[in-house]
Chains A and B, each alone.
Chain A
């Protein structure tokens, strides 16, 4: 067959293969266009899981009539206009591929009324052929109607899942958008019935309500806010208490400048920040939004933009790790909602409404959300900066504004001698010790009711944190080796070893000694007894991946954790009231003291209400 230029329609279909994979990708593209158009109200109407019909209506800036046809043309966009713009993409889309791609695999009707225009117009595309522009009825914004998706791509149709599954994908996708843009009202209808609708959340309580609807009451009750802003990096969001951990990494929402992404650097940073307080098979739950200068992040690396690349990924890693780690450390007894309902419910994790049940199903493969692109939305190019600004303005509304020190709200205490309680209100959230149970548990009472403390677990954490702070002051001592140890690595790893210049703070001295081997000349003295080769390989893998490594620190922490375990009071040790009270006070002042070193809770609150319930009192 001779080489020939492919017809435009075929090119669009091929492009559609990358961008439009299933109905949810269509919704993603359209909704992102609406976001880019500055909409504050987006309605999504689905019929038969999106196969029959998808309609997205917004109140954005609209497209002028004379640009309607252009909007459906390939590589036509209003979002960027030069290479410089591409390096500073602040809008969700930028490639100008979405609409023509969709139009090539479905019947598409684009209706829009540009801002200030006195009438709406529509254009209809079928099989890649555009109809003439006709006057139409629409109050404001844009409506895109996509019918009979994949009618001309039988192969794709065959791979469609059931209506229910496809709808769930759409549901999950839209849910992420709703999390990222609290200021936009979003509603979803399926087969004519309202599935859910969220009003624009411009106040703190509305934002809370939105979170509750999307992630469930339990998450919100157990989550703490985080808001850190330094050096052009800004992170905001909600972190769940370690007690509210998940067996799957399904409640992890990360947005970079409003874009939902999966990124190894970010995931590693958050996981590591939680490492000390979670059981190893558990995953933290969080909603985090990173605000970063668009020039510092490359979004043009993945057709569906599910991945991004940071220009200085180790800085981003360090920032996220540091911020989250500090926030987790500050979860203290008496903090927001660690009290009984949290602990009790976290093990049950019941959905509280049918709608929430839907939300609680694990979100689908993030890779399936496809790139948002838009052709020329008729609005001045300058407004492409608009939504970043909006995001940044909306974020404090969503995540900020709450008291950042929940400790201040600590419940006041009821005490054994009640006058003590009155003289020192609000200072001792864990209350005062009453007795020791079977040499294992400390029973205390506070204002809410009863506190039960696992004595060993609590003391272990206190000892561990003390050891950690003592050790963190010193640098890592290095033990040079009598005979350098030769370790064979991959060539790329040897390159990384050669380029890495932070070996000495880690206690290592490592040289490259050949194409694919390195020589270890010194090792961290504390860890000199274990297998150095294994440790070094882990460190090198980290360096290749993240350009930094905290393995040494991690190993030292493990060592300290063992020391702490051996150095703490064991079960069956009789404690006097004074000792027990001291333990409670130490817990209140120790970071991460709600979990022992292995991630188990150290204390539980039983409220008077719950105790009453046990005896059917007051019924």
Chain B
């Protein structure tokens, strides 16, 4: 059995599905990509049993077959070939030979029957969203997802649908990010699901075609995203996400507005001399100046200040500087608004005048 295909025609779908393949696996078959050839449609599937990625490409072949190949090795081989090369794959019992020009690679194959199949997704909730919007929604909040927290339900992103509002929330227990998007149509059933870290990162990576629409299906166990030939399926985290509405501070009435880029630059400078383990920084809101100050265990100290529009009582408050920088990087607006309570209360950071994205950050007691 022989198959002939242009290098880029094979590399493109492989590049899209390679993200599911972990570099180290206890189960060898998880390191492979499954090829299913059926009436000229070649479908590539990878999985880590948590998420599954599928893409397909039309090929010129006169047989139907299923086989696996080592995913990373094949990916590296294809990338190293000249762009205009044609790849010939010939399949024998346990070995596959990949040939391009005078280069020849013999790869071992594992039984396609052993490849784990994902159960079908009996979705109850469906909606469409343009890739660009989904990507923006996720990438505004993904930075504050917890990583390997024992509270497993925080190691992911909460996706919430209510009417025509799609909201994404993430928190690691110290800060919380919230973003929402207006859907064009109402969705019949309200739903909350938690997508695991890796699924979120893969989805953001896969949304590379801004204008294309994607269809999202949600069941109790899975989320599936279809867009063109691409199909992404991820298991959901089975847990209860904390009620983010109760975390939002409502009566923070001291409001300070600063230039986002100026503050970001100042914080980046001051950070150099902050304690490298918890990155403490002191922010002082007073009159028309926001001063930032950090020091490290060697007793070295950094200070900077930016212009401030602030009417409240003077306030000094400590933060993990990383938390503020993360927020400032995600916000796109020119200025940014701090809504403050007292120096022990959580702070709301948001672009002025809009409510589709907001961030809550807990201070530290410096």
Contact = CB atoms under 8 A, between A and B. Distances in A.
B364 A533 contact: no
B151 A485 contact: yes
Given A479-B278, A479-B364, A533-B150, A470 B174 contact: no
A482 B175 contact: yes
Contacts of B318: 477
B35 to A, nearest CB: 41
Interface in A511-543: 522, 525-526, 528, 531, 533-534
A481 B276 CA distance: 20
A480 interface: yes
A477 B365 contact: yes
Nearest to A509: B365
Interface in B265-293: 275-278, 280
Contacts of A473: 297
Given A485-B173, A526-B277, A480 B362 contact: yes
Contacts of B173: 481-483, 485
Given A485-B151, A525-B320, A526-B277, A479 B174 contact: yes
A27 to B, nearest CB: 54
* Size class of the contact patch on chain A: 20 to 34
Chain B, interface SS category: loop
A482 B247 contact: yes
A331 B190 CA distance: 68
A331 B176 CA distance: 49
B141 interface: no
Interface in A464-480: 467, 470-471, 473-474, 477-480
Contacts of A483: 171, 173, 242, 247
A528 B365 CA distance: 13
B314 interface: no
B123 interface: no
B363 interface: yes
A479 B320 contact: yes
* Size class of the contact patch on chain B: 20 to 34
Contacts of A10: none
A567 B335 CA distance: 39
A482 B320 CA distance: 13
A25 B351 CA distance: 80
A471 B280 CA distance: 14
Contacts of B185: none
A567 to B, nearest CB: 10
B49 interface: no
B298 A528 contact: no
A233 interface: no
B298 A482 contact: no
Contacts of B151: 485
B344 interface: yes
B261 to A, nearest CB: 27
Contacts of B364: 477-480, 525
B68 interface: no
Given A482-B176, A528-B278, A471 B242 contact: no
Most-contacted residue by chain A among B242, B280, B297 (CB, 10 A): B297
B357 interface: no
Interface string A399-437: 000000000000000000000000000000000000000
B129 interface: no
Interface of A: 467, 470-471, 473-474, 477-483, 485, 522, 525-526, 528, 531, 533-534, 559, 563
Q: Which 3 A-B pairs have the closest CB atoms?
A: A470-B297, A525-B278, A478-B365
10 contacts: A470-B299, A478-B364, A482-B171, A482-B346, A483-B173, A485-B151, A485-B173, A525-B364, A528-B278, A563-B276
Given A481-B362, A482-B346, A525-B278, 13 more contacts: A467-B297, A471-B297, A477-B365, A479-B320, A479-B362, A479-B364, A482-B175, A482-B247, A482-B360, A483-B173, A483-B247, A525-B277, A533-B150
Interface of B: 149-151, 171, 173-176, 242, 247, 275-278, 280, 297-299, 318, 320, 344, 346, 360, 362-366
